[in-house]
């Protein structure tokens, strides 16, 4: 089992998460009406042509496929820029958050007999680290050709208004039948575990749904209802219930044993102080916990 490191120090004055007795709260969809209309038109625009080679002359087919290659290359680059932590101007809080979530996911998977990350277990571990984490469950009905469905993921609320979404099986949500080589490469650029903002997720869903449509059209296949952009966005951005009730989990709610003696090392990190509450020394102390 992986060691959980970079835990927030005991002197950290960040806001404590709400009590785990909370039964949940209802929230509206994260998308505005205009965005939903655009997605609907994109999904059901019957005038767009399929990118099958037999629709074109040899020269036209080569031009179309060359354009598709360029689009895929650009899409891969855009996704990699969004998921990169070390390769850009990433604030210190975000970097530590990603590290903590990945370590917590390893712990959650290690406690499972099949190695699958339990979302509830992950949420409980993150709450032990004083993150305002919760299970989010979206649910929507069928309408205008959109299939009904529901989905679960974890989120973290920072400073009361910044919401990070965490999906432990993100890449798997975009798998399609008979994918082209280009789509497979694009799929591999997605993180296994998504940790990001709502805007970042919107961009990734747009990129992947557009690419899936091209790939399926190239194979002369229709886009299934559960891979249309509206359906995919509903998974994370539809009306949802946010809950931290751990009754369904058979494991103890205390994940980290505070009585255990751990060697603790502190280091200073250049955090953006607008994103993280500070301690009495106006600095952020992050401790790496390693078993002795």
Give 246-258 pLDDT, tens digit per residue: 554 444 444 555 4
User: Are 282 and 12 in contact, with CB atoms under 8 Å apart?
Assistant: no
Checking phi first, is residue 114 left (phi over 0); if not, alpha (psi -120 to 50) or beta?
alpha
What does the chain come to in residues? 292
Higher pLDDT, 4 or 11: 4
Please give the Cα distance from 138 to 168 (Å, whole number): 16
- Rounded to whole angstroms, how far apart are CA atoms 76 and 232? 19
Q: Is the pLDDT of residue 262 over 60?
A: no
Side-chain-facing half-sphere of 236: CA atoms under 13 Å: 28
Percent with pLDDT over 70 in the chain: 58
User: Taking residues 150-159, what's their average pLDDT?
Assistant: 96
Expressed in angstroms, the distance from the first to the final Cα of the chain is: 14
Task: Write down the H helix ranges in 167-243.
Answer: 181-188, 198-218, 229-237
* Pick from 13-22, 119-128, 150-159: least confident: 13-22
pLDDT averaged over every residue in the chain: 72
Out of 25-29, 55-59, 93-97, 281-285, which region has the weakest mean confidence (pLDDT)? 281-285
- Tell which wins on pLDDT, 265 or 186: 186
- pLDDT, tens digit, for every residue of 23-50? 566 766 655 445 554 454 455 553 344 4
Could you tell me the two tokens for 280? 């009495």
- 37 alpha carbon, distance to own chain's centre: 24
């Amino acid at each position: 089992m992986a060691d959980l490191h970079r835990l927030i120090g005991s002197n950290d004055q960040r806001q404590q998460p709400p009590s785990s007795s909370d039964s949940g709260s209802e929230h509206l969809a994260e998308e505005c009406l205009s965005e939903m209309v655009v997605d609907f038109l994109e999904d059901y625009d019957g005038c767009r042509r399929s990118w099958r080679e037999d629709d074109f002359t040899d020269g036209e087919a080569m031009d179309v496929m060359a354009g598709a290659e360029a689009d895929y290359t650009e899409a891969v680059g855009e996704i990699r820029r969004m998921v990169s932590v070390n390769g850009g101007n990433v604030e210190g809080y975000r970097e530590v958050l990603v590290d903590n979530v990945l370590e917590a996911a390893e712990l959650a998977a290690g406690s499972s007999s099949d190695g699958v990350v339990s979302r509830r277990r992950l949420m409980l571990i993150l709450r032990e680290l004083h993150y305002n984490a919760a299970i989010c469950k979206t649910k929507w009905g069928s309408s205008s050709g959109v299939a009904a469905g529901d989905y679960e993921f974890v989120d973290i609320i920072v400073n009361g208004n910044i919401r990070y979404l965490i999906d432990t099986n993100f890449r798997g949500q975009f798998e399609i039948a008979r994918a082209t080589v280009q789509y497979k490469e694009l799929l591999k650029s997605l993180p296994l575990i998504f940790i990001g903002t709502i805007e970042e997720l919107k961009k990734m869903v747009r990129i992947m749904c557009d690419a899936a449509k091209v790939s399926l059209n190239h194979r002369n296949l229709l886009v299934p209802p559960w891979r249309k952009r509206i359906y995919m966005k509903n998974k994370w951005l539809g009306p949802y219930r946010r809950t931290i009730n751990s009754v369904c989990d058979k494991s103890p709610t205390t994940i980290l044993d505070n009585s255990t003696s751990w060697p603790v090392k502190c280091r200073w990190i250049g955090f953006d102080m607008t994103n993280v509450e500070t301690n009495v020394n106006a600095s952020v102390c992050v401790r790496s916990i390693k078993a002795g």
